[in-house]
Structures are given as structure tokens and as C-alpha cells.
Structure 1
Amino acid sequence: MMIWAIFAAMTGAAVFALLWPLSRGRAQGFADAADARSLYRSQLKEIDRDLARKLIGDEEAQAARTEAARRLLRAAGDEADPTGETEPSLRRRRASSALMLSIVPLLALLIYGLYGSPGQPDQPLAARLEKAGPQQDFAIVLARMEAHLAANPGDAKGWALLAPIYLRQGRYDEAAKAFAAAVRAGKPDAELYAGLGEARIMETGGIVTAAAREALAEAVKLDPKSPRARYYLALAKEQDGDGEGAQAALAQLLAEAPADADWSGAVRARLERMQADAGRKAVAALPEAERQQAIKGMVDGLAERLSTGGGSLPEWSRLIRARTVLGDKPAALQAVKTARERLADDKAALAAIDALADELALKEAAP
């Protein structure tokens, strides 16, 4: 209720500030018209003295007398109507002022009642933080968690909940600290150690540091099947130059993965990149004749695999390019045709195949 009284007082003050100048009559030059006539008569006498002393001429004296007479007449008229305003006009102005003073606040209240929420109570921050409903702002929830952990640094469960959030937000340094705090405050947990290792790797731009390896090793010690820890330890092998060991580790991880594992696609893609890199390096080290034969064998192997069914757009594009580079245009044309048949339900893929065919001068494949 106090806030409404304050708003009403502020509105009234604003309206009065605007209407106060309008409520006053015309300001008079003198407080009394008699004073004005006395002043102007003194001016006439002074004009006569200046004329007698030859300080001004006859024309100038006449002009000065005329101006003084005009002022004297105006002063005499002001005495009859000091304010220059009639009573009816004064009443009208006062009525309009009172009308404005009442209409402006009423109009504001009417608009707020129609479009505002006068019956809605205020929502202090502390009260909002106490309500953890599904519609609550995530930023407020996160702030609440951070405030709670700042006051309770030994809450292992809280740190375990906050650390993955930091990791998904890309706040890797804070995620590593949160995982470390959860490990210190709680019981040994493979997921926490694996998360700590991942956060430390992301913090260094993908490099598996010694600190990250220690955390990953602890995760594998607690859970030998931890997929996240095994994946990053395989990357550590690749980083150390043990490409074969890294590929073997990833292949084993995929072989043991559940059928519905959502991470298997990323692991398989990384293994295929490793194998492709290893194959390119091995082929590059061969003599020219053997290198060409090895490349042809790799392309034939890709073509045979795709001929059995399926195949993605990148795989078909790679096969078409390889056939063209090897100078086998008929095989390239056949690859374009087969790719269009296999990817017939994907309009974007068909457009990409057509663009590739145009680029490689394989326009015969266009329908």
C-alpha cells in the first residue's frame, strides 16, 4: 500500500509542476499603477529640463513625450484591470487545471488495470530461489547451486552435479576444479575421475596431459570398462606415436560397446580417421609402382564394400574422386550412377553428387 501512496504523491507533484505556471495571471511591471504614473510624470519633467538645457532637440523631445504618454495611458488602463484577465476566463483555467489533475492519474490507473497485473504479488529473489519448479530460469538454478557450494564446499553431490554443467558450457577450467572437488569430498567414483580427465584434456585444447592420464588411470582402476576413460587413453596412445595400439584399443572398445551406446558413432568415426591416416602414411612410404598399386587396392576395397549396400555421401564422394584420379572414368561414372540409386531418398545428397559429377566432368551421369 505504501508504494501506491508514493506513486500518487509523485504523480501529483509532476502534474502540479506542469500546471503551476498556467494558474498564475500576467505578471505586472509594478506593484501599484500609481507608482507607474508617478514615474512617467517624472520622465516628462526630465524631458522638459533636457530641452531647456538644449540637450535634446524639439523633435526628440516631442517623440519622448509621446512615448511617455503612451506608457502612462497603459498604466492607467492596468489600474482598471490589474490582472488583464476576466473572472470567467480565470474560472475556466482553474477548472481545466483541476480536470487535468484528476484525469491523468485516473487514466494511468485505468491503463495499468487493463494491461498490467495489479493482483500479482512481487517475487523477491530469495523466494524464487526456494522454488525449484520446471519453469524456473536455469541461470537462477545455476546461481543457487554455486552459492550453495560456496557456503558448503564439502558437498560432493553438489560438485558432481555442477561439474558436468560446466563441461557442457565449455567452462573447462571450472569443470576440472568442480570434478576435483567432487573427488576430494566424496567416495572414489570412476565417472568423476573420467570427467576430471576429460575436463583437463579439453582445458589444454585436446592434449592428454600427465594430470589427465592420472585421472583416467584411476577411472579405469575403479571401472575397467569405463568407455570415456578408455577412449581418452586410446587417444593418449595415438599422441605418443603408438597408432596401432590406439586403433586396437578403440576397436576393442567398439567390440564391447552395447548395441544402443550413443557414443559408439563418435568412437567409430575416430577409428576410421586413424586407419585412414595410417593407410596414407604407409602408402606414402612405398615406391612409386607399389604406391599406385596400393592406392588402387584401397579404392577397389572401398568400392567392394559399398557395392554390398548402404554407404554414406562422404564414402561415395571419396570413391568417385578416387576413380577419377586413377583415370578410370567408366568406373567413376558407374559409381555416380550407383550413388544416386542408393541415396535416392536424400535430396541434399543427390544435389551434392550432381555437383561433384559436374566438377569432375562426369555429366553423363546426370539424369
Structure 2
Amino acid sequence: MMAIWFLFALMTGAAVFALLWPLSRRPDPALPEGGTDSVLATETEFYEDQLRDIERDAARGLITPQEAEAARAEAARRLLRASRTLGDPAVARVGEPALRHRRAASAFALSTVPLIALLVYGLYGSPGLPARPQAERLATARDAGRDLAAGVAQIETHLAKHPEDGRGWEVLAPVYLRLGRTEDAIRAYESALRILGETAPRLADYGEALVAGSDGMVTQKARTAFEQSLAADPGGVKPRFYLARSAEQDGNRDLALSRYTALAEASPADAPWMPLLRESIRRLGGTPSAAEAKPAPGEDQRSAIRGMVAGLDQRLAAEGGSPEEWARLVRSYGVMGERDKAADALARARAALGDKAAPVEAVAREIGLSSP
């Protein structure tokens, strides 16, 4: 440690000496006889040659008349300045008082500049920290990126050999999404769904990847995934939010506002998605005050879910709906354990949809409802 500080001090001293040495030198006390005149003659010859070069270039057309005139003026100014400097004995010689001032300034700079540098480093630097060069810091950041890339490559190599490893696809899909590789994420989620089967979280994540791949638009394919996820888990936050956004994108502001508000009322006040929900409610002209209050847990939340399912049932009974909506209603009643209502919803769906009731029949088989 002491060796490095000694080296720093030596380098600082050398730099200061190199800069201040010319100030401390005594000039030649007497120029040689005719020295000024000879130097001046040399300077004059140089500038005369330069003027001749300018005239020659102008005659050849290498420079314009305006450029030639400017060059002549500059050469004349330099010649005049050299003549005045060399012809002034006061400039050619530096007296002893001026020399003493220069040496004093040199000594002051030599002693003060290193001290100021050390003081500033002591106040604002980190002398107690171990040495860590910039290359090492950059290497650390690169290592983190390489670790992630290496992990992804390792999983990809494994899946190339074992493409039916659904768990591997499920692990890789969100990593792809975080890296911005949305198309790869979508394919990975599709593989996971195909191999491992459909679950509410898996369908919700798949729908989110589809939204990311369509620049934030909730496509029909994504909407179907969210509806299936919500049918399996009526309390799922992600599908409820994106279905509300889907209604907003379709121009159905009232439906979107009611969905945003219902989700906000069913969510804890400190949930990480609450700021986004409040902003969405305000954007649609609603009042997020109800969403600000912390909802009661337990039975109240279950009551809210039952209310949502009942609202879906009433809307389908009054207006009808798509096969996916009927399937969601049947699944919701099945998950809630209300099998009589699920069977009734299945019968009404068959009557309303006719030969289009295949999605509803699939849900009925999943939850164990007997065929007619």
C-alpha cells in the first residue's frame, strides 16, 4: 500500500516539475552580439518565403484571391509580432525579481497541488475501499448477463434433446418474456400447456405473453386464454385485469369500469397492482375511492366472487353470450361447489348454443357433470 502512495507522489511531483521548470530557469543574461538581429533576419526570411508561396499559389489558381489576401495579412501580423518581441530587450531578458517570483510560484504549486488533491480525495473519495478497477466492475456486470444467457442456453439445449419436458418450457417461458423474446415466450407457454395441461395460472401467463406480443392489445386468442383461466379460478387477478382492459379497448367503457372497480374492491389496498387499477378507474371517469379502502378478507371476498358469477349468469340469461362465456359460468359454479347451478347452466347453454356448445361440454366433462 505504501509503495503505491509513494509512486503516486513521485508521479505528481514529476508532472508539476515538468510544467513549472521553464518558469524557474534563468534566461541567458546576454544574447550574443547580433543575436537578435540574426534571429529577426531568420524570421523575416521565413515570412518572406511564405509570402512568395502565397503569391505563387494565387498565380496558379490554387487559392482564391480572398484566401490569398487573408493569408498575406496573417503572415504580416506574425512577422510584426516576431519583430516586436525579438527587438525588445525587456522581453529578451528576465530580471532577478521576476525570476524570484516565478520560483516562489513554482514552489507554492509544487507543495500545494498534491496537498489539495489528497484533501479532495479524502473528503469525497473512498480510500478505505479495496481497489476495484473499472474493468473488474464491467466484468461483474457482463458476468451477470453471461450467467443468464448461459442458463437460458443450457435449458434450450436440454429442451432440444427432451422437447416433452413441460416443466422446462414453463421455466423458460417467463425468462423469454423478461428478455423481450415474446414470440419464443408464446411458443414456450404453448408447449407447457400442451404437455402439462391447462391451469388457471398457466393460461393467465400465456394470455399475458400474447398481449405482450401484440403490443399491449388483448387479442381474441388472449381473451380466450384469460376467460379460460378465470373460469378455472374466478378470483384470478391477472385475467380479470386483462379482460377489463379488453373491454376498454373494445370501447365498452361501462363494462371496463365495472370490471376494474370490482377487481379493485376485491384487492388489498397495498396490492402492487392497485396504482394501475386506480389510474384506469380515473381514466374511465370512475371514482377509485372504493378501491382505496382495504376490503375485508375471507367471507366478504368470497361473496364478491359469488356476486360476479351471479352477474355473469344474469347477463347470459338475458342477453346470451359466447360459448366461452357459458363455459366460464359452468366452470365457476363447479369450482364453487354449486353443482346444481352448474348443471342448470349447462342445460341452458345447450339450449342457447345448439351445436356450438362444444367448449361447454368440455368443461362439463372436466368438472364431472354427467352427460344428458
The TM-score with structure 1 as length reference comes to: 0.36
Structure number with greater Rg is 1
The TM-score with structure 2 as length reference comes to: 0.36
Identify which of structures 1 and 2 has the higher relative contact order when contacts are C-alpha pairs closer than 8 Å and 6+ apart: 2
